[in-house]
Amino acid sequence: MFLPLIIGNWKLHGNKKIIKSYFTDLCSKLKLMNLHVEIAIAPPMVYLELAMRYLNQNITLCAQNVDTNISGAFTGETSIRMLKDIGVKYVIIGHSERRLYHKESNHNIAKKFALIKEASLIPVLCIGENEQEYAIGQSEYICHQQLDSIINFVGIESFYDSIIAYEPIWAIGTGRHANPLQVQKIHQSIRYHIARYDENVAKQLRIQYGGSVNEENISQFLRQSDVSGALIGSACLKTDTFINIIKNTEAIKK
């Protein structure tokens, strides 16, 4: 079985000085703990390599995005080969902020998923409904639809050793996290949905929850049987808070 996975997404924050002191502090404190938690951190692209210099075996690197192309005339982009080259393990795709602000379509996200798998890295595929869809009870339907568009493109086998992050858009950065029991229900429905394609893939699937997770509420999510870990935004930016999240994760024995 997999260890619980905690992913910290820095989004558009930080500078060289902050990255250096954050990783130095985090790694030295974590080194003293005998952890049964996997930790991945996604600093901004430009700081991935800097962060890499401070990592120890407890922490792996995650990228916040990747391009749909491998190489060529694509100004401003980062390819999966480059991420692999510098030692990245996970790549977040389909985050709602990219879907919204960068108009990323399911087709686009599916292409990224395929490239990540081809490179033997691990996609962290974000899915989730918006406020309006939530209000009319369409959460499961939206998640299934988003999944189907990826499965139809890459095939269900590609979901082996891939990660899904259920992130209701209305819970991201709002301080209004989803109800843990409701999260369990959605995660279970995601697993059932995948099982319709392939039961073995469904069984091993890691499903993260994301949306206003913090040190106080993390335990409630991790107690749910279909929650494998969390994708954390603002609460990962301070080492003390992030370490408390990790300690609380460690305390939940599944």
φ, ψ for residue 86, nearest 5 deg: -95, 5
- In the complex, the smallest distance separating the C-beta of residue 126 from ligand PGA, rounded to whole angstroms, is 7
23 or 242: CB nearest ligand PGA: 242
79 or 139: CB nearest ligand PGA: 139
Which one from 167, 177, 187, 215 is the annotated catalytic residue?
Answer: 167
Does 228 bind ligand PGA (CB under 6 A)? Our answer is no
How far, in Å, are 49, 51, 176 from residue 135 at the CA level?
42, 40, 14
- In the complex, the smallest distance separating the C-beta of residue 173 from ligand PGA, rounded to whole angstroms, is 4
Tokens of 159: 């979901």
List the beta bridge partners of residue 230: 6, 209
Dist CA 137 CA 28 (whole Å): 45
Residue-level length of the chain: 254
- In the complex, the smallest distance separating the C-beta of residue 85 from ligand PGA, rounded to whole angstroms, is 25
Does 212 bind ligand PGA (CB under 6 A)? Our answer is yes
Tokens of 27: 């790694």
Give catalytic status of residue 95 as yes or no. yes
Tokens of 3: 């260890």
Does 66 bind ligand PGA (CB under 6 A)? Our answer is no
Site for ligand PGA in 151-210 (CB under 6 A): 167, 172-173, 210
Of 170, 167, 173, give the one whose Cα is nearest residue 126.
Answer: 167
Under the rule (CB under 6 A), what is the footprint of ligand PGA? 9, 167, 172-173, 210-213, 231-235
Residues classed as catalytic:
95, 167
